[in-house]
Structure formats: C-alpha cells, structure tokens
Amino acid sequence: MTLDRRAFMAGSAAAATLGFGSAAAADDKVIRFGMPMDFTKIYTFVTAEYSQGQRDYITLVNERGGVNGYKIVTDITDHANDIPRAIEAYERFKREGAVLIDPLSTPVARALVPRVLEDRINMITAFSGRSDAADGSAFPYVMPLSPNYWTQAGVIIDFFRQQDKDLKGKKVVLVHIDTPFGREPLPIFQALAQKLGYEFQAFPYTPPGNDQAAIWPQVRRARPDWIVFWGAGVGQTTALSEAVRNGLPMDRMSSSVWLSESDMEVAGKDATKGVLKFQAAAGGRDPKVIQDILKEVAAKGKGAGPEGKIGTSYYNMGVMMGAIMVEGVRVAFAKAPNGPVSGPWLNEGLTSITDFSAEGLMPAMTSTKEDHQGGGKGRIVRWDGSQFVPQTDWFTANQDLVWAEIHKYSEEFKKSGK
Amino acid sequence: MFYRRSGIRHTRYAEERQLWPLRFDRWLVGLAVALLVAAPLLVDRLYLVAYLLPWIIWSSAALGLNLLMGGAGQIHLGYGAVMAIGAYTCVHLVRAGVPFELAMLAGGLMSALVGIVFGAAALRVKSLYLAMATLAMQYIVDFVISHVPAISGGTQATISVPPVRFLGVPIEGDIATYFFALAVCAVITSFMLNVARTSFGRALAAVREKDYAAEIIGIDTFRYKLLAFWASSFIGGVVGSVLVVCYLRSVSPDQFHLDLSVQIVAMVIVGGLGSVLGSFFGAALVLFAPIIFNNLIGTVTAGLGIEIGSDLRSHLPLMLYGALIVGFLVVEPLGLAKIWDNARNYFLVWPFRHAGR
C-alpha cells in the first residue's frame, strides 16, 4: 500500500474544509423545499420511490413554467434517520430559505416538531410523524395532509363492517410491530370493538419483524374473521409469507398504507392474491398526472429515477404529496400574490386547499387551519396477482372516534412544553 | 521552537504535577477555550446549533463512557440506555415541578443507580460477555421505556421538554443552550483530566491492566469496578438530560436506541481509549464525517453538473465514511488522539527527527 500517512491526513483535511463550505446561490424567483430523507437506513423501502415521484411532479410543474413564474427548487439530502444529521440538514435548509421541509421519518419528524413550530417552517409529515398533528390548532406548522393511522384503522374496520353487514360476535385480530408506530392504532381498534361488538385481539411481534414464526400459528389458533397486519418494510413481507404458510385466508387480511407491489413480489404474487390494503392515492399509470409525467418528464429524460418505478404505490404517493405541496403554493399565491415567500405565507396556502384531487390521482381533500389531515379519505384495494384493484370508492369512516383521539393527545401536547 | 521544553524547571511538586507543564500547551488550551466561548460571535448560527452544540454534547457523553472503557477497561454497549434513563428522569421531574438543577442531578443519580444494578451483574463476566450483558441492559431499558406509557408518554411516545431555568437563567434559544452545554462539558472534562491523577483513577488503571493483579496489590476490584460504573453512568445521565433540554427539546424512545450506544462506543475507540482529547476528536469524526461527505458530494456533483442516481448519491458518503474510519484505524490504531500526539512529539524535538534518550 503506497498511501502514506501524510497523504491520507491531508486528503481527509481537504475533504473536511470543502464539505463545510457549501452555500447555495440566492435567487429571488424560487421557492425552496427541503427534503432531507432517509435513503440509507430504515425507510429505504419507501424513500427512493416516494422521493422520485415527488421530484418528478415538481419537475413537471417547473417544466410548465412553475407557479406564478416561480420555480420550485427541491433540496434532497440523506439524513439516515439520524437526528443530529437531520437537524443539521434542517438548519442548513432553513438558512438557505426553505419554506417547507419533508423528512419522511417518524423519529425525525418528532424531533423537528419543536423547531418548526418555533421557526414557522411547514413540515410535511405524510404517513409519518405524530397522528395528533392533524389538529392544526395545536400544531400550526406540522402538516400530515394525509389520512393518519387512526383514520386508516377506522376505514379498514368500516370496510370489514360493509362486507359482513354486521361485525357483532366476529373476531378481528391485529398483528403489529411492537413499536410506538405499531401500537398507535390500538385505541381505535379497541374503541370500535366496543361500538360494533366484535372481539379484538392484538399480536405484537418484536421489531424489525424479520422473524414472526411464533406469532402466526397463534393467530391461526385464534380463528379470526378478519386480520389486520401493521408494519413496514421487512415486517410486511414476513407477515404475508407467514400468513401464507399458516393457510390464513388472504382475502380477509388487510394492511395499512404500507404495502407495495415489490412487497407482494417478495411474498409471492400469486400466493398472496386477495390481500387488502388501505390506499390514499391511486396506483398504476392510468391517472392523468402520471401520464403527464411519463410524457413530459420521463420521455424527455428528466425523470429523477428509473422509469420502471413510475406508477408504483409509493411513487404515486410521492406524486400525491408533491401535488399537494404545489397546490399549497398555488393557493398561497392566490391569497397573497406578492408574497413575500415565507413559512407563514405558504402555511396560509397549505391550510386552505379546497377539493383538490390532483386530477383524479387522489380523493378530493380539503385542509383547514384546524384540520391538517385533509378529510382523511382513502379506499380499500385488493391485490389481484398483478395489481391493486379498488374495492370501494374514496370514503372515510369513524372520524368522530379518530378526532376524539387526536384531541386527546393534542390537548396533552398543548399543556406540555409549557 | 514554539514547543520548547528547555528552560522549564520545576521546583515544586505541584508544578511538576500540573495538567499542562508546557507553556505552549497552556496557550493551546486557552485558545481552544477562548474560541469555544467566543463561538456565538464568530461563527454562523448554523454551525453553532448544528455542529458545535451536538459536538459538545456528544463529546461529553464520549468522555463519560471513556471513563469506563478507557479508564477502567470495562466495555459498555448500553450507554444510550444510560443516557435515556437520565433524560427521562430529568424531563419527568421537571414536568412535575422540580427545579431543573435538581432534576438534572436526579437524572444522573437514577442512571447511576440503574447503571450499577447492571454493572453488578456484569461484574461476574468480562470482555465479550460483559458486552453482551450491557447490550441486554440496552434492550431491557428500551423495552421498559416504550412499554410503560407513564414513562414514554402514551401512544405518541413523545414528551416535549418544558422551558427550564438553570440558576435563574432560562435555558432557551441558541446561545443559552450552547453555553449551558459547554459549561457541563467543561465540568466533565476537568473531572476527566484530573481523575487520572487521583487514587481513584490510578486504581481504575490497575483494574484495567489486570484485575487480579490489582487485587494482589490491594485494590478492591469489586468496589472500583462498581464505582467506575457508578461514575460513568452518572455522567451519562447528566449528559442525557443536557441532550434533551439543550438539543432535542423533546424526548422519545427512538432517540436512545442501540444506534446511539454504538455511535458513542465508536467515538471512544476512534478517538482513543482513555484520552480526553480523543473523545472530542472521535465525537467530531463520527458525528460530522457523514454530513461533510454528504455535503461534499452534493457540492461536487452540483458544481460539475454530474447527474448521479439518488441511491449512489446517498450511499457514496457512507462508503467514504467507512473507508475513512478504516483508514484512520490503519494509520493509527491508538486513535485520533495518538495522531495528535505524534504531531506534538514531532514539534517537541523539531528540527530533529527523534529525541535522544
């Protein structure tokens, strides 16, 4: 080896000085979105596709001339689900003038909540973060703008009720990862069990969930009428494989939003035929906006990733969130055409979105200063061996229970930290 | 030259035993302290809150672990859990109305108590087995915190830290938090610098080198190992409460998982076992190398107009980081502190290559 000590030390020092001084050029006709996400650690199963969808949509908007003459600039970086790294990225984006931040990570979102509330920068916590952030009066700058986990649980149970007409005396089990994320929907399932009269049983498995062999025979023995499995990434494919192995009825199993085409491929496309999941944005390439991206972005070689990923569940969720952000910018311009572009200015837009459906990609959503969830509409889709087929229209259910839960925790948040 | 040893003659024991007998070393330490104190005026806010503050806090944690690993030779893979105990105790006490000064100390004491419970069990085992026992502590503490709603704060598992005052000064904003963390770090650093010169520190060193040899020369190894766990866990608990109050501002279980423990062990090893300065170097490397490489690659690709996929874009910094750690350990297995020491030795005898013995 010829690399000597001095060269190694000098190289490291040079890299350090270069890496410190990265400043972005200021431009007055841009709106900056900071997107520090976890590309390398825990959320890898979703980040790449989600981010690709988001960026492709924003490229589409910019190619068409931006919003009101303003271009939207996305700053992407990896925070590896590590809080010091995420805070560094957040502070850097803040200095560069970002008015919106999308960390796509529950721990990072939790850690950033005090900062965004203080700095008045909009934080998108789509399908992540605190569910009680739906209460805009407690979290003015935290924007889930998507159906939270309590809503997803409420909708899934309502679908079961629609199928069986009556859930009285039925048995619903929840197989979930034993983390705060996995335990989050429990109160809704329990409250609904009281209301609808089904019997409820929960089966926690230890994180990260790559071994669930001990749980599923117990699930089979419980003879459930309906099964909900609640996890993400490897936990989901393992749950499906174990369910198949134990001969559980696939058409009576439902997941939250975290189930994708690639999960189905891992667990076996045909073996898992019939599995249900909650869907927040239409999948596939049929929606008009996905077609537009294919024509105006991907075909011109401006796509942010492999073209084959366009139209997957998570890609479309990225497009959905990109569209909502841009719609927020549009509404903000409609309210205050001269800006100035700032966190509070964008917040006015993001909290006044009315009946926006991204040209049919998603259910019409309406956000207000109080409701940051945006109505909580979704639908149940079924895997037919090659794609997820809608079983219902866009609908929402049990929002009274969901909001009771939201208020319970947001009230607590208001009291704490004082 | 400037690192001059000639002309320094000690006429009293106290002079000979001082921490920095060379005048140039004292100047360097003074300069470093002055720079740290003046940092809020000198550097941009970004570097204060996103670099210096975490660096100081993580260095304090690495110092605490270094007392146990470098000082007493006991490995600990559950230091994140130790910090979690301190953080949760402190936050809950502050929320119950206990003054922060007391809550922080109580956090330290609670960590120390739980720490020696596991420490005592761990005393029966050594090296790799001790690593496993402390790893068990990490998992048990994680489990208890996230499964007891009264500790974790219910479904959302996040508790915001109420505004606190230390001796009447509100610990909020960028400046007060920085100086508070710096003050705690200064106390821990001076403790660590001095502990090696006390009978306690010497006893720990004896235990580290060979515990039954230490027993033979009259050191109660059981007592000193327990004391090492106690002192190190106390520091961990205090740093845990500083971490949540000054930096995170909210506390949730996933902030203190195994990742944090491994990160701090890495800081101690890369920095140099038993070295105070090394803990600071190690913390800086482990915390900032991934960030700096990430920014570097961002700047380079943007500057040269190269389009690379987001997968490679985000993994490349990690590969470089890994290579850097390996590189440093190959160049100097005794850690970054030893590299500093080599440079210092070079200047001590400059313009000659070696000192005559």
pLDDT tens, residue by residue, B84-103 = 999 999 999 999 999 999 99
Contacts of B259 in chain A (CB under 8 A): 82
Calculate Rg over the CA atoms of chain B: 22
pLDDT > 50? residue B10: yes
Gap from A18 CA to chain B (nearest CA, Å): 6
Contact A52 B310 (CB under 8 A): yes
Nearest residue in A to B254, CA atom: A107
Q: Are B229 and B74 in contact (CB under 8 A)?
A: yes
Nearest residue, CB atoms, B250 vs list A90, A113, A180: A113
Please report residues of B whose CB lies closer than 8 A to that of A20: 292, 295
- The first and second tokens of residue B33, run together, are 């302290």
d(CA B171, CA A249): 57
For β-strands A122-124 and A100-101, DSSP reports them as: parallel
Backbone angles phi, psi at A365, to 5 degrees: -120, 145
> Taking all residues of chain A, what is their mean pLDDT, rounded to a whole number?
90
- What is residue A1's predicted lDDT score, i.e. its pLDDT? 45
Q: Which of B161, B248, B295 lies at the smallest CB-CB distance from A22?
A: B295
Give the nearest partner residue to B156 out of A39, A91, A132, using CB atoms. Answer: A132
SS3 for A316? helix
Q: Which residues of B are less than 8 Å from A230 in CB distance?
A: none
Give the residue extent of every domain in chain A.
28-147+281-376, 149-279
Residues A241 and A226: their CA atoms lie apart, in Å, by 17
The answer to whether the CB atoms of A180 and B309 lie below 8 A apart is no
Lowest-confidence segment of A20-24, A61-65, B290-294 by average pLDDT: A20-24
Q: Are residues B83 and B97 in contact, defined by beta-carbon separation less than 8 angstroms?
A: no
Cα B99 to its chain centre, rounded Å, is: 25
User: Which of B155, B290, B314 lies nearest to residue A184, judging by beta carbons?
Assistant: B155
Tell me whether residues B158 and A39 touch, CB distance under 8 A.
no
Whether A28-147+281-376 shares its CATH topology with A149-279 is answered yes
The answer to whether the Cβ–Cβ distance between A180 and B317 falls below 8 Å is no
CB contact (8 A) between residue B292 and residue A409: no
Contact B293 A183 (CB under 8 A): no
Q: Six-digit token pair at A127?
A: 């399908």
Q: Report residue A395 as tokens.
A: 């609908």
Which pLDDT tens digit goes with each residue over B123-166? 788 778 888 889 999 999 999 998 888 888 776 778 888 888 88
Transcribe B98-158 into DSSP letters: --HHHHHHHHHHHHHHHHHHHHHHHTTS-HHHHHHHHHHHHHHHHHHHHH-HHHHTSTT--
- Position B284 scores a pLDDT of 95
> Which pairing describes strands A379-383 and A276-279: parallel, antiparallel, or unpaired?
antiparallel
pLDDT digits (tens, 9 = 90+) for A269-294: 999 999 999 999 999 999 999 999 99
Using the beta-carbon criterion (under 8 Å), do A409 and B154 form an inter-chain contact?
Answer: yes
Strand segments, DSSP code E, in A207-323 are: 226-230, 253-255, 276-279
Nearest CB to B331: which of A5, A77, A405?
A5
Cβ–Cβ pairs < 8 A, chains A and B = 147
**Smallest Cα distance from B3 to chain A, Å:** 21
Helix, strand, or coil here: A204? Answer: strand
Mutation to test the B interface, candidates A18, A20, A78, most B Cβ within 10 Å: A78
Q: Which pLDDT does position A87 carry in this prediction?
A: 93
Find the angle CA(B233)-CA(B235)-CA(B241) to the nearest 5 degrees: 105
CB proximity B18 to A under 8 Å = no
How does pLDDT run across A401-412, given as a tens digit for each residue?
A: 999 999 988 888
Q: B249 to chain A: which residues are within 8 Å by CB?
A: 111, 114-115
Which residues of chain B neighbour A186 with C-beta distances below 8 Å? Answer: 155
Q: What is the pLDDT of residues A167-180, one digit of tens each?
A: 999 999 999 998 88
Answer whether residue B264 shows pLDDT above 50. Answer: yes
Give B28 to chain A, closest Cα distance, Å. 20
pLDDT-derived band at A35 (thresholds 50, 70, 90) equals very high
Q: Residue A374 above 60 pLDDT?
A: yes
The pLDDT of residue A57 is 95
Beta carbons of A22 and B44 less than 8 Å apart: no
Which residues in chain A have Cβ-Cβ distances shorter than 8 Å to B159?
416
Q: pLDDT tier at A24 (50, 70, 90 boundaries)?
A: very low
Q: Tell me the domain boundaries of chain B.
A: 36-349
Give tens-digit pLDDT for A43-54.
887 898 999 999
How is residue A26 annotated by DSSP? Answer: P
Report the gap between the CA of A335 and the closest CA in chain B (Å): 32
User: Confidence class of residue B104 from pLDDT cuts 50, 70 and 90?
Assistant: very high
Instruction: Tell which CATH classification among 3.30.465.10, 3.40.50.300, 3.30.1330.40, 3.40.50.2300 matches the domain A149-279.
Output: 3.40.50.2300
Q: Return d(Cα A342, Cα A318) in angstroms, integer.
A: 23
Stretch 172-211 of chain B: residues touching chain A, C-beta under 8 Å? none
B45–A187: do the CB atoms touch at under 8 Å?
A: no
pLDDT band at A59 (very low <50, low <70, confident <90, very high): very high
Chosen for mutation from A5, A40, A90, A91 (greatest number of chain B CBs closer than 10 Å) is: A91
Q: How do residues A229-271 score in pLDDT, each as one tens digit? A: 999 888 999 999 999 999 999 999 999 999 999 899 999 999 9
Whole-angstrom Cα distance, residue A18 to residue B69? Answer: 34
pLDDT of A22: 47
Average of per-residue pLDDT values in chain B: 89
pLDDT of residue A23: 46
Of A6-10, A211-215, A225-229, the poorest mean pLDDT is in: A6-10
Does B173 have pLDDT greater than 70?
yes
Q: Which two three-digit tokens encode residue B232?
A: 């190190």
Q: Provide the chain B residues 131-150 that lie in CB contact (below 8 A) with chain A.
A: 146
Q: Residue A228 pLDDT > 90, yes or no?
A: yes
Q: Round to whole Å and give the CA distance between B34 and B36.
A: 5
Asked if B255's CB is within 8 angstroms of A111's CB, the reply is yes
Inter-chain residue contact B49 with A91, CB threshold 8 Å: yes
Q: Which of A87, A107, A304 sits opposite B50 (nearest CB)?
A: A87
Chain A residues closer than 8 Å to B296 by CB: 15, 18-19, 22
Residue A136 is predicted with a pLDDT of 92
What part of B 23-62 touches A (C-beta under 8 Å)?
44-46, 49-51, 54, 58
Please choose, from the candidates A130, A97, A134, A60, the residue with its C-alpha nearest in 3D space to the C-alpha of residue A292: A60
d(CA A325, CA A124): 9
With 0-12 / 13-18 / 19 or more C-beta atoms within 10 angstroms meaning exposed / middle / buried, residue B41 is: exposed
A22:B299 CB<8 A: yes
Write the class of the CATH domain B36-349. Answer: mainly alpha
Tokens 């502050």 belong to B94
CA of B147, closest CA in chain A: separation in Å?
9
Residues of B in contact with A110 (CB under 8 A): 156, 158, 250, 252, 254
B7 Cα to chain A: minimum distance (Å): 32
Q: Is the pLDDT of residue B357 over 60?
A: no
- Considering CB atoms only, which of A91, A95, A111 is closest to B250? A111
pLDDT at A19: 62
Taking CB atoms and an 8 Å limit, are A132 and B318 in contact across chains?
Answer: no
**CB-CB: which of A83, A305, A412 is closest to B255?**
A83
The alpha carbon of residue B325 and the mean position of all alpha carbons in its chain are separated, in whole angstroms, by 18
Residue B293 and residue A15: Cβ atoms within 8 Å? yes
- In whole angstroms, give the CA distance from residue A98 to residue A75: 9
- Residue B355 banded pLDDT, cuts 50, 70, 90: low
ipTM value for the complex: 0.89
- Cα A138 from chain centroid (whole Å): 21
Instruction: Return the pLDDT at A418.
Output: 59
Indicate the pLDDT class of residue A130, thresholds 50, 70 and 90.
confident
Domain A28-147+281-376: CATH superfamily, name plus number: Response regulator (3.40.50.2300)
Interface of B with A in 268-307 (CB under 8 A): 287-288, 290-296, 298-299
Q: What residues form DSSP beta bridges with A93? A: none
DSSP for B186-240, written as a single string: HHHHHHHHHHTTSHHHHHHHHHHH-HHHHHHTT--HHHHHHHHHHHHHHHHHHHH
